Amino acid sequence: MEKNNMIKVPLEKLRFADPNRRTGDQKFDTKPMSYAKDVFIRFCKNKSSVVAAIIIILLVLFSILVPIFCETNYSQSLTDTTYLKYKHLLPKNEAFVGTGFWDGCENDTINENRYYTLMALEKETGYKAITEIHDNYKENGKKYYDVRVDSYIANGMEYIDLSLEQFNDIQKWQNENNIQVIFPAVNEKTKDPKTGKELIAASKQGDADVWYATTEKGYPRVNSKGEYTACYADKNDQKYSGLLYTPEYYNYDSLRIEGDNGDYLYASVSATRVGNKVITSYKVRVLLDTYFQYRYGHEASFLFGTNQKGQDVLTRLAAGARFSLVLAVCISAINLFIGAMYGAVEGFYGGTIDIVMERISDILGGMPSMVVMSLFQLHLASKVGPVWSMVFAFVLTGWLGMAARTRMQFYRFKHQEYVLAAKTLGASDKRLIFKHIFPNAMGTLITGSVLSIPGVIFSESSLTYLGIVNLESSTQTSVGTLLSGGNGLLMSYPHIILFPALFISLLEISFNLFGNGLRDAFNPSLKGIED
């Protein structure tokens, strides 16, 4: 059955032992090995655990470093709500632009109306919202296009209100960088130059993307050459959309779009007189993509895309991961501490103390964690916040496992001869517990503690995902909150869920592998088995 495991020694190296030589009194040539070193060496032999440990280190570094270096990133500020305009952008890496992968584009089937809107955007700005057209077909009398859409450009235009300083600042930036942010204002009362009738664009009031005349159905009016009819506000056309064109407050001296001979207006100005001061406000159409560049000094490009609130998934994920990791490590440490104390008392003294204390942990262990968690949330969340009440709830039942482990170890060691010897020599209980028994139990306890970390992360993310622990009101975020945010968007924007889910899966797998390796390394009975 068993294989013959004899080591093969070459014949020339084989030498008989010298019966006269006494080896007993000689010193070892090799250095003695400490327990920790032995554990480390045996841990390193387990390749998958070492890889898992490296992955854990990388993930931890990710969650520490990304929030530090991306702190200036735009969704951090609570007062600046500009990011709300950039929701659902797809993951994009500058290096991959044009490769058809990770470039912020997605294949989509769009209807005719959307197609013309995006084409109009391209015509006006020169940026391609539709990067490729695969196919077009008719179904039930409606035309559809299979296209590849760049989500960053397709985000389109937006009306924003600016003060005079901001308006001038954008102009200055435009001149310096030669990138156009502000596009001409639209006059919704433009008249057809031939017939003199008002063109229809009224149905699209407020939609900043529409700068052209439309048919009654809302489609763009295209002439036989495929040209749009522009409805820009013109300096010479005094009535425009009810908004004031006040020449004394309007000065635009910056980039102009193609085909503009200097007559188009780039803002609708409203001026109100407060006392002696005139406060002006400029309502402008900006292209969101270039506006982002103006505002944050770099191109809009999110490695993991943005979520339903327009926050960068990368930095949110790092912040959430940091929260989850810190929480899990703290809770494991607290549980280790309480559990070790409780279990030590139980195990060392035994008898009635043990029975009473075991019944207490029986009762606590019988409570489903969901019940404990929700009760704590209901009672404490309004007083100490959801995070602290979650910590209390985790600690309340979490130490039970550690206590049982410690108790078991104490039962194992307390009747051993060396403890008896120490007792005979008059060692106090304190000394017996801390000096003699604990060091022997430590390996098991530490592994148990490490192995409990993925469990805590898992329950925390489930609880925040289900909304039992509601972190919305606090400034913290966790991986579970990120997942629940993307809940209804799985079909249309899978990246919002994909990255947090990938992260937590990787973390759980690595922690389990790492814990298993640690357990084997700390287990002296496995020593030498695999050699």
Partner 1 sequence: MLKYVAKRVLLMICVFLVIISMCFILVKLLPDKPPQAMPNSDAYNIIMMRREALGYNKPLIEQYGIFMTKTLLGIDFGKTAQGEQKQILFGYDLKNHVFKGGNWGLSEQMYPNHEVWDVFLQKLPPTMLVNIYTMLFAVPIGLALGIYAALKKNKWQDHLVSTGVMVFISVPGYVYCFLIQYILCYKMVEWTGWGFPLQMLSGTNYFTWKMFVSLIPAILSLGLGTIAGLARYTRAELCEVLTSEFMLLARTKGLTRGQATVRHALRNSMVPIFPMILGEFIGIIGGSLIVEQIFGIPGVGGLYLASITALDYNFYLLLNSFYTLVGLASGIVVDLSYGFVDPRIRMGER
- Measured from the CB atom, the residue of 281 and 374 that comes closer to partner 1 is 374
Q: Does 385 bind partner 1 (CB under 8 A)?
A: no
Residue type, 184: P
- Measured from the CB atom, the residue of 353 and 502 that comes closer to partner 1 is 502
Q: Name which position in 333, 467, 472, 527 contacts partner 1 (CB under 8 A).
A: 467
CA 446 to CA 333: how far, in whole Å?
9
Q: Does 474 bind partner 1 (CB under 8 A)?
A: no
Contact region with partner 1 (CB under 8 A), list: 87-95, 334-342, 409-417, 456-464: 456-464
CA 442 to CA 37: how far, in whole Å?
15
- Measured from the CB atom, the residue of 82 and 523 that comes closer to partner 1 is 523
- Measured from the CB atom, the residue of 436 and 495 that comes closer to partner 1 is 495
Short-list 280, 269, 277, 212, CA closest to 242: 269
Radius of gyration of the chain (CA): 35
CA 259 to CA 60: how far, in whole Å?
54
Q: Which structure tokens are listed for 38?
A: 């032995």
Q: Give all strands of the β-sheet with 130-139 in edge-to-edge order.
A: 105-111, 142-150, 130-139
Short-list 201, 177, 240, CA closest to 120: 201
Q: Does 136 bind partner 1 (CB under 8 A)?
A: no
Q: Does 504 bind partner 1 (CB under 8 A)?
A: yes
Q: Name which position in 366, 415, 528, 530 contacts partner 1 (CB under 8 A).
A: 366
Other residues' Cβ atoms within 10 Å of the Cβ of residue 108: 15
- Measured from the CB atom, the residue of 9 and 363 that comes closer to partner 1 is 363
Q: Does 465 bind partner 1 (CB under 8 A)?
A: yes
Other residues' Cβ atoms within 10 Å of the Cβ of residue 311: 23
Q: Does 468 bind partner 1 (CB under 8 A)?
A: yes
Q: Name which position in 268, 461, 464, 477 contacts partner 1 (CB under 8 A).
A: 461
Handedness of CA 451, 454, 457, 461 (dihedral sign): negative
Number of residues that bind partner 1 (CB under 8 A): 35
Beta carbons within 8 Å of 139's beta carbon, 6+ residues apart: none
Other residues' Cβ atoms within 10 Å of the Cβ of residue 167: 25
Contact region with partner 1 (CB under 8 A), list: 123-131, 209-217, 425-433, 466-474: 466-474
Contact region with partner 1 (CB under 8 A), list: 120-128, 234-242, 272-280, 463-471: 463-471
Only one residue has tokens 């700005």, namely 125
- Measured from the CB atom, the residue of 303 and 370 that comes closer to partner 1 is 370
Contact region with partner 1 (CB under 8 A), list: 13-21, 167-175, 305-313, 488-496: 488-496
- Measured from the CB atom, the residue of 81 and 505 that comes closer to partner 1 is 505
Q: Name which position in 131, 136, 374, 474 contacts partner 1 (CB under 8 A).
A: 374
Short-list 437, 85, 21, CA closest to 295: 85
Q: Does 509 bind partner 1 (CB under 8 A)?
A: yes
- Measured from the CB atom, the residue of 104 and 500 that comes closer to partner 1 is 500
CA dist list (Å): 39 to 47, 249, 435, 518, 525: 14, 77, 21, 8, 12
Q: Does 367 bind partner 1 (CB under 8 A)?
A: yes
Contact region with partner 1 (CB under 8 A), list: 78-86, 169-177, 359-367, 517-525: 359-367
Q: Does 396 bind partner 1 (CB under 8 A)?
A: no
Least Cβ distance, residue 15 to partner 1 (angstroms): 36
CA 50 to CA 432: how far, in whole Å?
35
Burial-class residue 200 by CB neighbours within 10 Å (0-12, 13-18, 19+).
middle
Q: Does 368 bind partner 1 (CB under 8 A)?
A: yes
Name the β-bridge partners of 222. 228
Name the β-bridge partners of 191. 198
Least Cβ distance, residue 504 to partner 1 (angstroms): 6
Short-list 243, 242, 214, CA closest to 229: 214
Q: Does 121 bind partner 1 (CB under 8 A)?
A: no
- Biggest alpha carbon–alpha carbon distance for the chain: 124
Q: Does 363 bind partner 1 (CB under 8 A)?
A: yes
Q: Does 44 bind partner 1 (CB under 8 A)?
A: no
Name the β-bridge partners of 312. 306
CB 414 within 8 A of CB 347: yes
Q: Name which position in 143, 235, 379, 435 contacts partner 1 (CB under 8 A).
A: 379
Question: What does the binding site for partner 1 look like in residue numbers (CB under 8 A)?
Answer: 1, 362-363, 366-368, 370-371, 374-375, 377-379, 454, 458, 461-462, 465-468, 483, 487, 490-491, 494, 497, 501, 504-505, 508-509, 511-513
